[in-house]
Structure 1
Amino acid sequence: MMAAKRATEAVGRALVEEAQRWGGMRQTGVGLRYMMDFGSRPTDRNLLISAQFLHRELPIRIARRVVELDDLPFGLSDEPAILKVRDWYLDSFRDVRSFPEIKDISDELAFTEMIKMIKVRHNNVVPAVALGVQQLRKHLNPKLASCDLEEIHKFLDRFYMSRIGIRMLIGELLHPFSVWQHVALHDPDPQPGCVGQINTKMSPMSVAQAASEDARAVCMREYGDVPDVNIYGDPDFTFPYVPSHLHLMMFELVKNSLRAVQERYMKYNKDAPPVRIIVADGIEDVTIKVSDEGGGIPRSGLPKIFTYLYSTAKNPLDEYDYRGNNAVTMAGYGYGLPISRLYARYFGGDLQIISMEGYGASCTSLS
């Protein structure tokens, strides 16, 4: 029994040491244009090349996350949820490294099936890390200034941005026409205009409408009532973007606005004013503005809204099940806005918040 335990520990140490070696290697950047050009030609040869690239690249990117998760300040690395996430990344690193050399299309298909399992394994990384941060916050000195926690914020920005990049690589280079390549390869009717997760003719109006309906459903479930959402813009306007990224950003922004408006007006038994979304196509930028009359954010709260240790809502994460059994809550995770800004910045955009305390807030997403 003791010998088996020692053998298991030795294997675990060897795996961690290998991850540390790979984490020191240089990763390869992949741009949006390359993803679109490559993914638009899903030949067997291209799929084989992309699988071989991922077989080399994913261990580096995954190992870097393992190394960072092992070396976090204030004892964050020892929080149970963070340890769970670190184990997920170690398992995925082991799976990719142990996969044999990819030589033909049958190897590529087997590799794709393995990658699909990895993608599912990591579906709940974001809320699990958020839970770890909340676990840390419970025993942090409340007098610590936000500048003292800057190292944690920088890590989380890097960590979440890297996660976006890994999922884009998996989604684009191995999954042309859809999120799952194995399914798409046998799809006789792929969506027109779609190259992997990128829609070359994405309608921001349609995405805003879908995200608003999803946010209104959450608000209705939470409060039993929900403000309207009015959307303004050219319904025929399209541009190339990742719909799932824009949907996430719009969902978070609209959800925040709905909550602020509903909580403000239900106190007075008054009809709540609508949340407004404006989509503008400029010469250089696509701008999407979400504005509300929810009372705004106090000036003292504005510096905190893009940190991962701040939320104006009651925290629902105390009972969070990071295996994926929780429904979407209205607020309280403390990462909706900072994550949304990272998604905006991934392709060179940004997300800005302008508040008029006593009236409302305006959230602008620049794509």
Structure 2
Amino acid sequence: MFRLALSAGRRTPLTHIKSALPPLSSIPTSPPFSNSLKSRERQQHFSTSSSQISDYASRSQTPVSLRTLMETGRGDLLGRGGNSFEETPDKNLSTATDLVLMQVASFLRHELPIRLAHRIKDLDDVPMMKEMKSVTTVREWYIQSFDDLITFPPIKSKSDEEKFAVLLDQIYERHAGVLVTMARGAFELRKAIRQGKYGTEGKMDFEEMQAMHDFLDNFYMSRIGIRMLIGQYLSLRQPPMNDYIGMICSETSPAKIVQQAVDDATFMCTRKYGDAPSVVVHGASNLNFSYVPTHIHYIMLELIKNSMRATVEWHGIDEDYPPIKVIISDGEENEDVVIKVSDEGGGIKRSHMKRVWSRAYARFWGGDLSVMSMEGYGTDVFLHLSRLGDSREPLP
């Protein structure tokens, strides 16, 4: 049930804003730049020095929460944190004013180089994988973005902010292929190990595997944070939408998102197998809370898609499939919004449970993802989403 390979398919966007992660159907099969542009970037002489990267990597990152992002987007925090803005906009405004955009841009100009420097240092320190060609490419992207940011002048006017937005849009697109390229780097490493270039007798020992897993987990978690900060800022610059502050919806409906994920997964499963199991949704259909809808949709699409695949493959084509059950927790006073996905897709062997990769999106805002499986029968997955909004991102 819990196979997490990405596959392309129809995507019905939740909003017109940018997601913190590329939609499944738009993840590129190659890095996002043309060969000539990549070549120019590799040949470019960066003004960045190793000492600058080390300096920024020694600085502390600043974790944020959904509540902080919402308050900043509303303008509630103008005049705080030592900024130089004197005008305070109407507290009831839900759209981003020029002052809010300048405040957010100034924070990102300070924060993003620190986060990028931490990741560059991690890429420099990770054993074996740092020598893979694809990982080297990702490192070059990070150095290029770091260089662009530290050489950008202080943001003192609306014109400065507009130019900064153009730069961040370029950085956002530059890093769009990081997940795919890092996955390619992992494949290159496995190939090198099989060829005997690393490890012992074509294998990695447990400590090496654990170190690699920890590195990738931290790297992907940090990437979500970077893209969330940039995506939120760029979304604040878009025309306002009801109930939205940037990428955050104050009236996020888990039931509606689950149904959209069901529709998308059904389309993908039917396209591949010719049929798809039905999905029955129970629970809190009227529940709303503040969250990033695209995050929930991404997780639920993967979970439901995996359940459908497992069910079809376990029971065989042209069989009557047992329905997949999705239950959304009731209770306005609950600490978490909990979504349970249950299938009868044969389950996961207990010896394979450690291979299950808990998606970082679930843990990013203080949530979690847990798996309980009965081999030979099926699997239950519990997605916990913090509804308090004050959980800070778990920065590595």
TM bucket by the smaller chain? Answer: 0.7 to 0.9
Q: Does 1:120 align with 2:173?
A: yes
3-state SS of 2:141 partner? helix
Distance 2:259 2:180 in 1: 25
TM-score, normalization by structure 1:
0.81
Q: CA deviation at 1:280?
A: 0.6
Q: Which residue of 2 aligns with 1:181?
A: 236
Structure 1 ranges of 4+ moved more than 3 A? 8-17, 141-148
Q: Deviations over 1:95-140 (max 9, x none)?
A: 1122222110111011011101111111121222122112212233
Counterpart pick for 1:164 among 194, 214, 224: 224
Q: CA deviation at 1:344?
A: 1.4
Distance 1:94 1:146 in 2: 37
Q: Which residue of 1 aligns with 2:258?
A: 208
Distance 2:308 2:43 in 1: 50
Partners of 1:260 and 1:295 within 8 A in 2: yes
Q: Which of the two has greater helix per residue? A: 1
* Aligned ranges 1:1-367 → 2 under 5 Å: 11-12=45-46, 14-41=48-75, 42-73=96-127, 75-140=128-193, 141=199, 143-172=203-232, 174-175=233-234, 180-182=235-237, 184=238, 187=239, 190-266=240-316, 269-282=318-331, 283-306=334-357, 338=358, 340=359, 342-367=360-385
TM-score, normalization by structure 2:
0.75
3-state SS of 2:125 partner? coil
Distance 2:261 2:147 in 1: 37
Change (3 A) 1:259 1:347: same
3-state SS of 1:139 partner? helix
Name which of structure 1's ranges 58-67 and 277-286 shifts more when overlaid on structure 2. 277-286
Partners of 2:249 and 2:290 within 8 A in 1: yes
Q: Deviations over 1:150-173 (max 9, x none)?
A: 11111111111111111222233x
Q: Which residue of 2 aligns with 1:321?
A: none
Q: Deviations over 1:318-354 (max 9, x none)?
A: xxxxxxxxxxxxxxxxxxxx3x2x2111111110000
Amino acid of the residue matched to residue 347 of structure 2?
A: G
Partners of 1:66 and 1:89 within 8 A in 2: yes
Q: CA deviation at 1:218?
A: 2.0
**Number of residue pairs aligned between Structure 1 and Structure 2:** 315
3-state SS of 2:170 partner? helix
Partners of 2:73 and 2:236 within 8 A in 1: no
| Structure 2 spans left out of the alignment, 5+ residues | 1-41, 76-95, 194-198, 386-396
Q: CA RMSD in A?
A: 2.0
3-state SS of 2:107 partner? helix
